[in-house]
Each structure stands twice: as structure tokens, then as C-alpha cells.
A and B are shown apart, each in its own frame.
Chain A
Amino acid sequence: MSKRTRPRVFLVDDHHLFRAGVRAELGDSVEVVGEADEVAAAVELIGEREPEVVLLDVHLPDGGGQAVIEAVRVEHPDVRFLALSVSDAPEDVIAVIRAGARGYVTKAISGAELIEAIERVADGDAVFSPRLAGFVLDAFAGMPAEESPASVDPELDQLSSREREVLRLIARGYTYKEVARELSIAIKTVETHVSAVLRKLQLTSRHQLTYWAANRRLV
């Protein structure tokens, strides 16, 4: 990973202070090619500059991060998104992931961890923070397959026991490396499992997921 060129990163956040802070923290490890504070400007500039990774605030006026992903994806399917948020409302996070983000981290993340996450997303892998892993386990928990008979692919509606194991470790605060060591598998395999979970999360047609999110939406 260290041999790769610096990833080209674009920042989208409606708080100027936060963008400045992230820029400072990222330092020279990445190349920040631009930033935007609203959906329309973000869509236009991302299309123009074609960054590898977009650091995307979940909460933006006029449709949120979701709107940016949906608009950019049409013409630039190669741009990858990493969601950042202070608010951990599960339904917002799940919505952005389902729109196509490759991962989710909280704004409390340290600079080094953020850089690692960006590189991971640039490489096409998924980034699961402990909280996201918890949400996903919760969303898929205790839902037997027969509850969604209309599903196209029942495989998509359930996590394999290995995937569950990996997610559980991530939720417990393990890094990918630590998960790999704990389960005696390669880091690459951990990444494969996590990417598979992300795919399931994005593709599952299970009503439960929306139902779950709606249920959790308490404010």
C-alpha cells in the first residue's frame, strides 16, 4: 500500500472549519483536489476533477451525501465515496451506504486512521467502522430468510457465519489486521468478507432493512 501514488481526494462538507481541519490532518499523504460545501457544487466539481475518493459528509443541505452519490454515479462510476459523519443515526448511514458509499467512519477518527481508510477505499475495498459493523449486524440480526420470499437472491439477505464473525470483531474494535490474526486468515480475506457484506447491504431487497431503519428513527 505504501508504494501507491497519493490518492486524489475531494472533500464535501458544509462546515468550512471541518474541511480545513481534515485538510490539515491529511497533510501530504493525499492530494486534495478540491472541496465543496453543497450538493450541486460538489456534483459539478467532482465531475470536473474526477478524484479517486470523495470524503462525503452524510448530512448536507438539499438531500445529503446520498444525493451527491446518486448524481455523480451516473457519469462517473469510478469515483469512490467514503462517508464521514458526526451523527450516527443508523438510517442515515445505511442510506448513504446503500446509495453506493464504500465505507463509513465517524468524524472522531484519528488522522492516521482516516488516511488508512482513504487508501483502502481508493483500492476498492470497504471501510467498516465499529459502529457501522454494529448497525449492519443489528440490521441483519434475527431475520430468518423466509421473511422475504419475494427476494431475488436469498443469498443477499443473509450474512454468512464467517461474515458475521468478521463484523463482530470489527464491532469489538478490532482493526482489519487484528481480525485477520484472530481468525488466522489473510488481511485480503478480511477485506473480501467486508466487501461482500457491503455488497449485500447495497443489493439486498429485504424490506426488513428499511423497516429496521424506520424503527430506529426515533427523532
Chain B
Amino acid sequence: MRGRGRHQRFQRRGLHFGPCRRSTEDRMFGGVAGGLAQRTGIDVTVVRIGFVLVSLAGGFGAALYLVLWLVTPMEGTGSIAARATRDRRGILLAASFLPLLALTAILGHVVALGFVSSFGWPLFVAAAALVLIWRNCDEQERAWLHHVADPIIRIGVPSEHRWRRLVARCALGAVLLVGGTTTLVLGHPSRAVLRPLGGALLVVAGFAVIFGPWWLSIARDLVAEREARLRAEDRAEMAARVHDSVLQTLAMIQRSADRPQRVVQLARSQERQLRSWLFEGEVRGAVGDGAVTLAAGVQAIADEVEPDYGVPVDVVTVGDCPLDEELRELLGAAREATVNAAKWSGAPMVSLFAEVEPDRASVYVRDRGRGFDPGSVGEDRRGIAESIRGRVSRHGGRVAIRTSPGEGTEVELSMPLAGAPR
């Protein structure tokens, strides 16, 4: 719109005299003044004072500064405006200031304070430009903006003196409100100002009703977008850590290439580490007795049994709930069943499946190994089976073992849940 027209004119002039660039070294905000100073040969302080003076005239200087910031390329990079044209949400956000501008103009007119409306346009342009700059500048510049804006943002950050500050702020606000209203009413030529003032309030309410939801949705979108960006940053950081650790393991594997067992062990332990990093939430970082939920406990079983017996344990969990005493017993039995499968079945892997339903938690331990005849088991196996069975049924749970020679074994353990699951 306005910004683009300016942009073209600016570029044409730029072509004529050689390009103008925002300065990277001589900058207080966007480096615009520094760039202009370099371009024209005028001292940078003079340019800055010029901007401040023009700003006093209806805020025009600030708007001009921000628009120049938007359209002038930084030394070595493109202009922010080029990127901003693709930022639909940012443009929408900038446009959402329009109703605010209209509102300001109407209010200024109603209370017959001309300077309010004259501030409106530059303020709108400045705010819109600032939004587009903030959303589209590169990381480096955003960091710089943060640095500049930090002291201002800090005002809103809760601190230990929150209450005292809140009271102070409310008191100050109330004084300003009462003072301003009084000045308006008393200072106006006629007391009849009260009526337009009431009208103005209605207009404000109208705008709020019409545009309020829209503004809210924009704000929500922005929050969501910000969160997504933070997560992406977290991921990148994680990736760096992960790659480093993988490289080290790979180096170790190369050195132990002649010892297959060691290689497998290294690979498995690296895999476990990666999984627990990447899906920390699912594993919840807790191992063994430290586990606080069923899913974490089941994962812990796999993490313990795998290296001890060299058999991969594939874990699938559906749902989760906090551990209580009964569920710990269930896990203990599941651990024994898993150890049995890893130790005796001869299967290349063991499947461990845990499911939490509203009224019960179940764990299935399955292998495709040699299986056994439940009717004629050796004393040792029978003992283990009894200990699994006894342990679970003592706490109100149920155990079912399905097996036959050559068919593998599946142990089903389930426990009714005392309370509602999480």
C-alpha cells in the first residue's frame, strides 16, 4: 500500500545514486540513520536528531523510520519488505490496526482533540511496519530487537514484587483515568461533551463487538505460531546433541569391528539413548524403581532386560496411568515374564505390550520361541510361572499363559485399576 509506493520511489532514487543500505555497525534500532548518514555524508547524530524532531511533529518521523527500516535492505541481505509480502498472517495483523485507526480518528473527532486524529495515521503506519519487521526480520536482527526491547518487555514480566507492582500500576492508571476524564469534561467549552463521550463509548463497544473476535483469533494464531517456532528451535538443538553422540558411537563401533557382540551392544545402547532423548515424554526419563507411570515402567523393563540377555524387547504402550502398589506388582511380574522369554525361549525378540483402559491395566509378554507344554513343565519353569501367577493374583489381578511347544509363549497379565486413570 503506502509502504510499497514509497519502496518503489526509494528504489528508483537508489538506482540513481547507488543503493542505500541499513548500517550493521552504526545502529541504535534498525541502522536506518547510520545507512542514511553513510549514503549522504551527513553526520549520523544529525540524522538521528532529525528523525527525533520529525517524530515530534505528529509522530511522522517514527513512522518514516520504521517504513525505511522495512524497505531498505541490510548490508549483505535483502530487504525485510521482500519477505513480508509473502507473510499473509503478518499483513493481516498489520491490517487489523485499521479499525483501531478509524476508532482513534472518530474518538479524536468526537472529543474535539485534533491532535489525537493527527497522531493516528503515523501511529498506524509505524505499528504496521513494526509488526512486519518483527515477523520477517532474520534471526540476527530479531535477537538485536530483543536486546533493544527487553527492558520494555520486562515491565510485564511477573516478579516477586508482583502484588506491589500491580497495586502501583492500578493506582497510577486510576489517577490518569480520573485526571484525563476530568480534564476532558471540565476543559471542554461546553459541558455537553458528556453526550458525545457516551456516544464514543458506544462506538468503542461496537468496534469491540465487531472486530474483537477477529483480533482475538489473530492473537491466538500468533501464540500458536510462536510455540511452533520454539519447538522447532528445540528440535534443532536436540539434533545437534544427538548427532554428536551418534558420531561417537560410530567411532567406537569402528574400533570394535572384530567383536560382533560388542558392536551389537553399542548399537543397542545408542539406540536406547536416542529414543529416550527423542521421545523423552513417552519414556519419561524414569528407569526401574524410579518409574512413576506404567508406560515408563514397561519401557524400563525393556531397557534392563535387553542388555542383560542380548535380546531386543519391542515395547508398545497404549494409554498410561500413574503407578500404585498393585501396578508395581504387575510390572514386577511382567519383568519376570520378559526375563523368562529372553532367557529360555530362544526367540530373536520379545514383544511387550501394555494397555491402560478405564478400568484395568494389562501387559502382554510375547515371544515366538520354542514354547513349552504347560502340562509337563520342568520344576524351575513351573516355579517361575507360579511366582508370576501368585504375585499378580494376590493383588486381585489375573494371569493367563498361552503356549505350546514350537508355538512361542504369551503371558497376559492384567490388574483392575483402583482409581480412574489419568
- Point out residues on A near B: beta carbons under 8 Å: 87-89, 108, 130-131, 133-134, 137-138, 141-142, 168, 171-174, 216-219
A134 and B278 within 8 A (CB):
no
- Supply 12 A–B pairs (Cβ within 8 Å), ascending by A: A130-B351, A134-B318, A138-B317, A138-B318, A138-B319, A141-B319, A168-B353, A171-B318, A171-B355, A172-B364, A173-B366, A217-B231
Of B238, B353, B358, most buried by chain A (CB within 10 Å of CB) is B353
Measured in the bound complex, the distance between the Cα atoms of B280 and A87 in whole Å is 13
Closest to A140 in B: B318
A218 and B319 within 8 A (CB):
no
Q: Given that A142-B358, A168-B355, A172-B410 are contacting pairs, would A88 and B317 also be in contact in the complex, using a CB cutoff of 8 Å?
A: no
A130 and B314 within 8 A (CB):
yes
Q: Given that A172-B410, A219-B235 are contacting pairs, would A134 and B280 also be in contact in the complex, using a CB cutoff of 8 Å?
A: no
Q: Report the minimum CB–CB distance from B319 to chain A (whole Å).
A: 6
Place the interface of chain B in its size category: 20 to 34
Give every chain B residue within 8 A of A88 (Cβ-Cβ). Answer: 275, 279
Closest 3 interchain pairs by CB? Answer: A173-B351, A218-B281, A134-B316
Contact among B280, B314, B316 for A219, CB-based, below 8 A: B280
Give every chain A residue within 8 A of B231 (Cβ-Cβ). Answer: 217, 219
| A interface majority secondary structure | loop
Measured in the bound complex, the distance between the Cα atoms of B312 and A191 in whole Å is 27
Q: Report the minimum CB–CB distance from A198 to chain B (whole Å).
A: 18
Give every chain B residue within 8 A of A141 (Cβ-Cβ). Answer: 318-319
Interface string of B233-264 (1 = CB under 8 A from A): 01100100000000000000000000000000
Closest to B275 in A: A88
B278 and A87 within 8 A (CB):
yes
Measured in the bound complex, the distance between the Cα atoms of B410 and A174 in whole Å is 10
Q: Report the minimum CB–CB distance from B314 to chain A (whole Å).
A: 6
Measured in the bound complex, the distance between the Cα atoms of B231 and A172 in whole Å is 32
Measured in the bound complex, the distance between the Cα atoms of B272 and A108 in whole Å is 13
- Please name 9 further chain A to chain B contacts, defined as beta carbons within 8 Å, in addition to the given A134-B316, A219-B234, sorted by A numbering: A108-B312, A130-B351, A134-B353, A172-B351, A172-B410, A173-B353, A218-B281, A219-B231, A219-B278
Measured in the bound complex, the distance between the Cα atoms of B394 and A10 in whole Å is 55
Give every chain B residue within 8 A of A219 (Cβ-Cβ). Answer: 231, 234-235, 238, 277-281
Contact among B281, B312, B366 for A172, CB-based, below 8 A: B366
Closest to A134 in B: B316
Total A-B residue pairs with C-beta atoms closer than 8 Å?
A: 61
A130 and B316 within 8 A (CB):
yes
| B interface majority secondary structure | mixed
Q: Report the minimum CB–CB distance from A14 to chain B (whole Å).
A: 14
A218 and B280 within 8 A (CB):
yes
- Point out residues on B near A: beta carbons under 8 Å: 231, 234-235, 238, 275, 277-282, 312, 314, 316-319, 351, 353, 355, 358, 364, 366, 368, 410
Q: Report the minimum CB–CB distance from A185 to chain B (whole Å).
A: 18
Measured in the bound complex, the distance between the Cα atoms of B280 and A88 in whole Å is 12
Give every chain B residue within 8 A of A173 (Cβ-Cβ). Answer: 314, 351, 353, 364, 366, 368
Give every chain B residue within 8 A of A217 (Cβ-Cβ). Answer: 231
Closest to B421 in A: A142
Measured in the bound complex, the distance between the Cα atoms of B279 and A13 in whole Å is 22
Q: Given that A142-B358, A172-B351, A219-B238 are contacting pairs, would A134 and B317 also be in contact in the complex, using a CB cutoff of 8 Å?
A: yes
Give every chain B residue within 8 A of A174 (Cβ-Cβ). Answer: 366
Closest to A218 in B: B281
A137 and B355 within 8 A (CB):
yes
B278 and A131 within 8 A (CB):
no
Give every chain B residue within 8 A of A133 (Cβ-Cβ). Answer: 316
Q: Report the minimum CB–CB distance from A204 to chain B (whole Å).
A: 18
B281 and A216 within 8 A (CB):
yes
Closest to A174 in B: B366
Contact among A87, A142, A171 for B316, CB-based, below 8 A: A171
Q: Report the minimum CB–CB distance from A91 to chain B (whole Å).
A: 11
Give every chain B residue within 8 A of A131 (Cβ-Cβ). Answer: 314, 316
Give every chain A residue within 8 A of B410 (Cβ-Cβ). Answer: 172
Measured in the bound complex, the distance between the Cα atoms of B314 and A65 in whole Å is 24
